[in-house]
Amino acid sequence: MNVGIIGIGTYVPENIITNEHFESYLDTSDEWITKMTGIKTRRFADDDMDTSDMAVIATQKAIEDAGIQKEAIDLIITATSSGNHTFPSVSCIIQEKLGLNPVPAMDQLAACSGFIYSLITAEQFVKSGTCKNVLVVGSEKLSKITDLNDRNTAMLFGDGAAAVVVSEVSEGKGFIAHEWGSDGSGGQYLFDNVETGYINMNGREVFKFAVRIMGDISTKVVEKANLTADEIDMFIPHQANIRIMEASRERLGIPKEKMSVTIDQYGNTSAASIPLSIMHELKNGKIKDGSKLVLVGFGGGLTYAGMTMVWGK
């Protein structure tokens, strides 16, 4: 059986925060942020919009795009590190707000690798015949867990959401190969501080890990799929830092125009960054029916995951 994505929907808040905003009160500059991270703007959700509200909007669009009835969803998985609460999960809130059937609903906590982790999880349920249509959501309101007075992290993160429906697809489409894993010894470099509630990061250490693992995993999933780099139509890395993305693109041997870049607009939206990038490339025509994609991410945990897939149903 081939399993893939049959529908996608996204949401980003309207409020655009520029680098100049941080210049106005922190010892930083637009020039430094742009050069060191690739970020120009990010979106921050208003106080009355939480992670689940963004997730619900993205989910409605994804179900519509999939062309299925909401009653056909039989499992909900949300990748998030910034849920409204630890419990109820964002997935349970989506189930209630959209009036979905009383299906299993759970959040997956693998930080920025969460979306790919959730795709891989969903694939297993569809392949085994346990489920037919799994809703996979990546939604983050990182602005609420970022210390906006800490110049090490304040300018890096943004808010946004994306949802997809994972189901059986036709021959030649869907997920081909994946790699996923963790290295708990690096957990100390990226964590939410329970006392402050804010993200704490050793940027240098995370950077070193990310450059190594993003390159390793993307090459591995291409090999595992029996493909070569020139057969890949679009490389969609987790949008954490343009320099990390560039290093992995070069390692994989893919030209610049085949790498999706949305970090300039959205910053790092963690579990939402990969599907937001997919939507961006669908809109500008770079991903079409039959396009071969490499998705790859890393995040707190530390975790990592990559996947090759053919777009379309």
Contact positions toward ligand ACO, by CB under 6 A?
28, 32, 36-37, 111-112, 151-152, 190, 201, 203-204, 206-207, 210, 240-241, 244, 268, 270, 299-300
DSSP secondary structure string for all residues of the chain: -EEEEEEEEEE--S-EEEHHHHHTTSS--HHHHHHHH--SEEE---TT--HHHHHHHHHHHHHHHHT--GGG--EEEEE-SS-S-SSS-HHHHHHHHTT--S--EEEE--GGGHHHHHHHHHHHHHHTTS-S-EEEEEEEEGGGGS-TT-TTTTTTB-EEEEEEEEEEE-TT-EEEEEEEEE-GGGGGGEEE-TTT-SEEE-HHHHHHHHHHHHHHHHHHHHHHTT--GGG-SEEEE--S-HHHHHHHHHHHT--GGGB---HHHH-B-GGGHHHHHHHHHHHTTSS-TT-EEEEEEEETTTEEEEEEEE---
Q: Which two tokens stand for residue 229?
A: 């780099």
Catalytic residue set: 112, 238, 268
For ligand ACO, the closer CB: 144 or 313: 144
Q: From the CB of 209, what's the least distance to ligand ACO, in Å?
A: 9
Q: From the CB of 42, what's the least distance to ligand ACO, in Å?
A: 13
For ligand ACO, the closer CB: 59 or 303: 303
Q: Which two tokens stand for residue 313?
A: 């149903």
For ligand ACO, the closer CB: 36 or 227: 36
Residue nearest to ligand ACO (CB): 203
Does a cis peptide bond (omega within 30 degrees of 0) precede residue 255? no
Q: From the CB of 190, what's the least distance to ligand ACO, in Å?
A: 6
For ligand ACO, the closer CB: 2 or 265: 265
Q: From the CB of 81, what's the least distance to ligand ACO, in Å?
A: 7
For ligand ACO, the closer CB: 19 or 133: 19
Q: From the CB of 202, what's the least distance to ligand ACO, in Å?
A: 8
CB 222 within 8 A of CB 176: no
Q: From the CB of 143, what's the least distance to ligand ACO, in Å?
A: 14
Q: From the CB of 35, what's the least distance to ligand ACO, in Å?
A: 9
Beta strands across the sheet bearing 75-79: 2-11, 159-169, 134-141, 75-79, 105-108
For ligand ACO, the closer CB: 154 or 222: 154
For ligand ACO, the closer CB: 112 or 296: 112
Q: Which two tokens stand for residue 300?
A: 């707190």
